[in-house]
Structure formats: structure tokens, C-alpha cells
């Protein structure tokens, strides 16, 4: 009995949160820093959804897919419209003006990249 590990508790597949990936592009005069863009996006979402909505939406800007003028946000499937609206509310990042456009919403990163051709 000393060599046995305790069994891990796993969630049932029906209990796992479904994710969506929101692909977006930014129209701006200069290339943008990831941390400035993330802070502007999260600030806009906090202003639109509030802390409770942010906790339920679980937004996450994915750093590995940041391209300077395009990126991906992971969120809950129920809050995709709120995330898209919060992106549209961002008007400025740092000192430069910016316009956000949602290019695609996908259930997986792989299919989203294939459809965009990246």
C-alpha cells in the first residue's frame, strides 16, 4: 500500500468549460507592445463587464500568438459577444490611437489559424 499513489480527481467532460478563441487585428500607426495592448484590452473588459463578468468570461490574451497588430483572446463560449464588444470600445493604446476588428471566432486554435491563413 505504501507504493500506491492516491487517485486523482478528474472533472467529467460535461463539467469542463467550453472555450472560444477570438482572433482580432488592430489598425494603428505603429507596432504595439504586448503588455500595453493587454492592459488596454483588460481595462476595457473590466469597464464593460465588471469584476463578476470578468470572472465568468475568463478572458486571456495569448502571448505566444501576439503579432504586434494582431492577437488572440481565449474566453468562455457564453461571453464571446461581450468580449467582442469590449474590444470595440478600446480607442487608444498607450499614446497611439487604435481600432480593433474581430476577424474570426473559433473553437480551436488550429482551425482559427487555418481559416486565417497564418
pTM: 0.84
Give the CA count within 13 Å in the CB-facing half-sphere of 118.
Answer: 17
- Round to whole Å and give the CA distance between 84 and 100: 9
> What per-residue confidence (pLDDT) applies to 1?
54
Fold of 18-107: Alpha-Beta Plaits (3.30.70)
pLDDT bin (cut points 50, 70, 90) of residue 89 is very high
Least confident of 26-30, 85-89, 106-110, 113-117: 113-117
Domain ranges of the chain: 18-107
> What are the DSSP E strand ranges found in 1-116?
19-27, 60-61, 70-76, 92-93, 96-97, 99-106
Quote the pLDDT of residue 87.
Answer: 93
Amino acid at each position: 500500500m505504501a507504493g500506491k499513489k492516491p487517485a486523482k480527481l478528474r472533472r467529467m467532460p460535461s463539467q469542463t468549460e467550453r472555450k472560444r478563441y477570438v482572433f482580432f487585428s488592430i489598425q494603428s500607426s505603429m507596432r504595439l507592445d504586448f503588455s500595453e495592448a493587454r492592459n488596454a484590452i483588460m481595462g476595457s473588459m473590466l469597464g464593460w463587464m465588471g469584476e463578476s463578468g470578468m470572472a465568468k468570461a475568463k478572458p486571456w490574451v495569448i502571448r505566444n500568438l501576439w503579432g504586434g497588430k494582431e492577437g488572440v483572446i481565449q474566453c468562455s463560449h457564453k461571453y464571446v459577444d461581450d468580449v467582442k464588444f469590449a474590444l470595440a470600445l478600446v480607442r487608444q493604446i498607450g499614446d497611439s490611437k487604435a481600432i480593433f476588428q474581430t476577424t474570426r471566432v473559433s473553437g480551436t486554435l488550429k482551425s482559427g489559424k487555418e481559416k486565417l491563413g497564418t
